[in-house]
Structure 1
Amino acid sequence: MTGPQAKTWSQRGRTPVVRVRGRSRRRISIAALTCCKPGHRSRLIYRPRRDNGRRDGRKSFSRRDYRDLLIAARQQFGGPIFLVRDNLNVHKAAGLREFAASRDWLSVYYLPPCAPDLKPVEGIWFLLRRGRISNVAFGAPEHLIQRIRHGLRRIQYRSYLIDGCLTKTGPSIRPA
């Protein structure tokens, strides 16, 4: 994976060419949750996943991976979780719906289709793409994962960035 080009240059009249080595079949997926709780700082909880030719043939997160991420969020964040999801097919899988129904601390709400402007995590991806992984050609997946982790960690420690992503989408958090 190569990051988007934020800046480049070449001689006038010549199209710049960026050569990248590596195979395109390698894939890295990231699942993330932006969390907010009244009276506490906002948090970002994420998990990168590298496609290592898993036996199940999946190249991205499975329902089990999402379930484990929610359990980790519950342990880190404490309290009930109101999960707002998009309409990705794995988010609506029967196994995840059963998991959510069996947990009294988890309430799931789905966004309308094609509404990326309502997802706070899209702002996080924008910050990451324009920061740590822009203008870099990655020769190895490990290098990409390292840069992603470092970039997300920088965002984690700056809760005002997470607050900005949450505010942009417009959720109102009121104490119960």
Structure 2
Amino acid sequence: MILHFSKSPFNQFIGISYYNRRAIFSFVVFAGLAYYFCIYEKVEEIHVPAIPVSILGGALAIFLGFRNSSAYDRWWEARKIWGSIVNNSRSFGLELITYPIGQTNEEEEEIEKWRRGVINRHLAWLYALNAQLRNKPVEISQYLDKHDLELLKDKKNIATQLLIIQGNDIDRAFRKGWIE
């Protein structure tokens, strides 16, 4: 997950306060209750034995340590996978530009049109996957032609549908002998 923070400390404070408003509210309520009981109800001291507190504190530290470690592992795995997608996308684009070569000018023009369509569809897939992983609306119409947009109109998982369309298009190029 990529977080973008404001450069203004005030805006950072407001944003952090907004997302933690429940915890802040709970803290203020309990602190207010503690203040009230100490000042107005004259509660002198509360005796808490040290052993249960130290045992619970140690258990909590171990629990939070494992939880933090697993969160970091998930983040690192996602980072590696996204890096792999970027590298493989770069290689895929270079292969598309390099390998299919037409025998005639007409075939070369048709291959060039196919290349542009496949590369643009791949860009649309990258943006669709990014938006899907972040639960944001997908805006990829600038990369796709009308036919592809029509195929995706009522689909829920746009990224997967784009891969299916892409596979069919690459299969068509294979059958025409453009790629091996």
User: Which TM-score band (shorter chain)?
Assistant: under 0.3
TM-score, normalization by structure 2 = 0.22
Q: TM-score under structure 1 normalisation? A: 0.22
Which has the larger share of helix? Answer: 2
Structure having the higher strand fraction is: 1
Say which one has the larger Rg. 2
Say which structure, 1 or 2, has more relative contact order (CA 8 Å, 6+ apart).
Answer: 1
